[in-house]
Chain A
Amino acid sequence: MEFVYEVEGGNFTKAGNASSAVKKTMKQLNVDPKIVKRTVVALYEAEVNIVAHAYGGVITVNVNAEHIHIVLDDNGPGIPDIDLAMQEGFSTASSKVREMGFGAGMGLPNIKKNVDELKVSSEVDKGTRVEMKTYLKNQ
């Protein structure tokens, strides 16, 4: 099953809408509540990253019996140094975003902790792709 959601860059009033929709769908599909919780944390962080850093993006969610696979593609400034971005505490968020309590440099590390596989690829001035996969059955 595939679901697609669009995310608007800069619009914090809608941040979390896609995560909320995915959570509802996963619950309806009777996905293990522990996996729902972990996936929601990872997806919300990734969704907020698009809102905070990019002009816009698309979230594609694939669920089957084996795994949940989520791809977030954005049009944005890209990440010049992905290893640096993965470090806890590193952030390029604006002061406005930080005042809201975002931009603590915890997003990508939070994502990594809550999915089985994470792949981040990026092209500067074009955009970033975040792919995450969590297995629904014990491997």
Chain B
Amino acid sequence: MKVCDLVEQLNLKVFCGEQGLDNEVVGGYTSDLLSDVMGNVDENQVWITLQTHKNIMAIASLKEVAAVILVKGYKPEQAALEQSNEEGIPILGTDLETFEMSGELFGLLKK
């Protein structure tokens, strides 16, 4: 499955990093503790979080995640948006809460 398939099927907003919409998705990780994400997320996973600052993109890039999903209607800060475009790692958005978004993604990837 690709990031663009998630966008379509989970009705996600694309804030930035459009050139990464073809990134392959193999799983997901949900956490707001950056060290936890750093230690546990793996490449080509989608990271679900409520953090919106630039450091999420540093981690996303170092760990080569497929995309980041911001929950509860949060929007990325400008610096995060710029880095997302530079790295080609999309930041996506949903109005759903973390639990619901994780459940939706899990259900979709399990199919």
A: residues with CB less than 8 A from B are 12-13, 15-17, 19-20, 23, 37, 40-41, 44-45, 48, 100-102, 104, 106-107, 110, 113-114
Contact = CB atoms under 8 A, between A and B. Distances in A.
Contacts, number: 59
B43 to A, nearest CB: 8
A101 B62 contact: no
Nearest to A22: B62
Contacts of B49: 101
Interface of B: 32-36, 38-39, 49, 51, 53-55, 58-59, 61-63, 79
B39 A12 contact: no
A41 B38 contact: yes
Nearest to A40: B62
A100 B58 contact: no
A44 B34 CA distance: 11
Contacts of A13: 54, 79
B40 to A, nearest CB: 9
B33 A16 contact: no
B84 to A, nearest CB: 14
A20 B61 CA distance: 8
Contacts of B79: 13
Contacts of B55: 12, 15-16, 100-102
A49 B51 CA distance: 19
B62 A20 contact: yes
Nearest to B43: A37
A110 B62 contact: no
A104 B36 contact: yes
A23 B53 CA distance: 22
B53 A106 contact: no
Contact of B62 (A12, A16, A102, A107): A16
A45 B33 CA distance: 12
Contacts of B59: 16, 44
